[in-house]
Amino acid sequence: MKKVFAFVLILVVSVQCKKDDFMSLTHIAPIVGEWRIIAYTDTDGKTTVPDTTVQGRSLLIEIRTDGVIVDGYGRLGCCPPSKYFFRDREFIPQPTAPIEPSICPFILCGSCPEVRIYMPVPDTLLVKNCWGGTSTYVREK
The pLDDT tens digits of the residues spanning 48-102 come to 888 766 667 888 999 999 999 999 999 998 888 989 999 999 999 999 999 988 8
pTM of the model: 0.77
Cβ-count burial 15-47 (b if 16+ within 10 Å, e if not): eeeeeeeeeebeebeebebebbbeebbeeeeee
Domains of the chain, earliest start first: 2-139 (2.40.128)
Q: What are phi and psi of 12, to 5 degrees?
A: -65, -45
Rounded distance, CA 94 to CA 77, Å?
15
DSSP SS3 for 29: helix
